[in-house]
Structure 1
Amino acid sequence: MGKSHPQFALTFDDGPHPVDTLQLLEVLDKHQVKATFFWLGENLEKNAALVQAAARAGHQVALHGWTHRPFPLLGTRQLQKDLERTRDLLTDITGIQAADLRDVRPPYGAVVPATLRSLKEWDYRTVLVSSIPLHWVQSIKATVKQVMQHAQGGMILDLHEGQPMGPRIAKITDALLPELKAREFDFVTVDEMWREQDASVGIARV
């Protein structure tokens, strides 16, 4: 039996973005790493080709809401409508069935018990994070150092595309992945982490 490596999920929020997403896909392909993209519905249609490219490459596409408004500030009906609208558009663009687009990351990680109950009732899976490095206010070197200080098996790392946080995100990812690979992590999507580790660290099952 082969050696078991600790799992690590690399995730990105707030896209798709015409520059950041393209550069990220190139870097991920270079390192042969699969990631999970939590995308905003309002950004999907104008970046449909990149959405299709990400799905074809084996990355997981997931939901971050229609806009970046915190879920608790939306009424229940509006939240349900926004998520359905985002999921339906992802299905139209990628061909992925709606039933397979279940993972949702609330903007800012903002949830209240009522939000969690609703997401569960609608058969979504709420995905939180283990670590969010301050990559929008610090250097690439400092970001890599911050991630590596906390890197561990079962970790879900959250990085961001788009202005003002994303312009260096591909360079950060390119510098970070060799460091993580040296730790012999097994890079997985969030969906794979659900299936293989039954809701490991950083995923909220409620």
Structure 2
Amino acid sequence: MHFAPLFPIIYRILQPSFPNCLWHGDLNSKAIALTFDDGPHPQYTLPVLAILDSYNIKASFFWLGVCVNRSPHIAQEVKNRGHWIGLHGYEHLSFPTLSPTDLKLSLETTQAAIYNACDLQPEQVRDVRPPNGFFTPGTLKLFHQWNYRSVMWSIVPEDWVRPGVSVVVQRVLSQVTGGSQIVLHDGVCGGQDVAEIIKILIPQLLQQGYEFVTVDKLWKMKEGANRKN
């Protein structure tokens, strides 16, 4: 069963209910974030990097610790090219199914894998996106307690079920607005198509006047807007 039509509805319901999470950036800006989950992958990530390089775009990657350990050289390439790095857990397990002890271990083990591959200190990698987008208020409370930042999404084109490159591209283009946070995948599920997707998507978004920024920049924009309010 495909859930793509439901994600915009879920977003509209959850976003105001959990305002401390990062769902999007400044809605009045043309800045958007291109994000990738489930990597790094030995086949799928490098073609993504090549396309991002060709447009001088910085993206954000939410990594599984097990994948970092399998492909540390790919992880290092992502870091060396200046992209933003976040956590997606050690394995792709829904966080609400884990005990607090296991959840903390999953995040810290992933930070350790990233440190070993990229020489990034744990405090430099504290953005967390829950696998499958599943979380509870208790999950978010633990993130805050452990000094992590909760990163969600505003556009989820369900690329991991591989509905076709053109379908994914059109889903993004039909939903994109200022501040959008777009979720794609460079891992086992969806990674086969991701380079072709962004190869088509990026020039069309640039033509519409959008600017690509990292998740960290979206946080700074959110913090700036909160100070004004």
**Structure 1 residues 38-81: Cα deviation after superposition (integer angstroms, max 9, x where no partner):** 01001112211111111111101110000111000000000001
Paired residues in the alignment total 197
The correspondence of residues 141-180 of structure 1 with structure 2, limited to 5 A, is 141-180=166-205
Q: Specify the SS of the correspondent of 1:158.
A: strand
Corresponding residue for 2:158?
A: 134
Is 1:112 the equivalent of 2:129? Answer: no
Residues in 2 aligned to 1:97 and 1:123: alpha-carbon distance in whole angstroms: 14
Unaligned runs of 5+ in 1: 201-206
Structure 2: runs of 5+ lacking an equivalent: 1-27
Partner residue of 2:102 out of 75, 78, 82: 78
Q: Which SS does the other structure have where 1:38 is aligned? A: strand
Q: Give the Cα separation in 1 of the matches to 2:101 and 2:65.
A: 17
Note if contact 1:5-1:184 (Cα within 8 Å) is conserved in structure 2.
no
> Deviation of residue 139 (structure 1)?
2.0
Q: Partner letter of residue 149 of structure 1?
A: S
Name the structure 1 match of 2:84. Answer: 60
- 1:17 CA drift (Å): 0.7
Q: Which amino acid aligns with 1:183?
A: Q
Go from structure 1 to structure 2 and tell me whether the alpha carbon gap of 1:199 and 1:43 turns closer, same or farther (over 3 Å shift): farther
Task: Note if 1:183 corresponds to 2:181.
Answer: no
One-letter identity of the residue aligned with 1:194: W
1:43 has 2:67 as partner: yes
Q: Is 2:33–2:214's contact at 8 Å kept on the other side of the alignment?
A: yes
Q: Deviations over 1:142-190 (max 9, x none)?
A: 2111111111111100001222321011000111000110111121110
Q: Given the superposition, is the C-alpha separation of residues 140 and 199 from structure 1 closer, same or farther in structure 2, using an over 3 Å criterion? A: farther
- What is the CA-CA distance between 1:5 and the residue it aligns to? 5.2
CA distance in structure 1 between the partners assigned to 2:177 and 2:47 by the alignment? 26
Runs of 4+ in 1 over 3 A off after TM superposition: none
2:43 aligned to which of 4, 12, 19? 19
Could you tell me whether the CA contact under 8 Å between 1:41 and 1:67 is conserved in 2? yes
Contact 2:29–2:179 (CA<8 Å) still a contact in 1?
Answer: no
Distance 2:73 2:162 in 1: 30
**More helix by percentage:** 2
Q: Deviations over 1:66-122 (max 9, x none)?
A: 011100000000000110110122122111221111100000110011111001100
SS at match of 1:128: coil
Whether contact under 8 Å (1:40, 1:63) holds in the other structure is yes
Cα distance in 2 for partners of 1:81, 1:199 equals 32
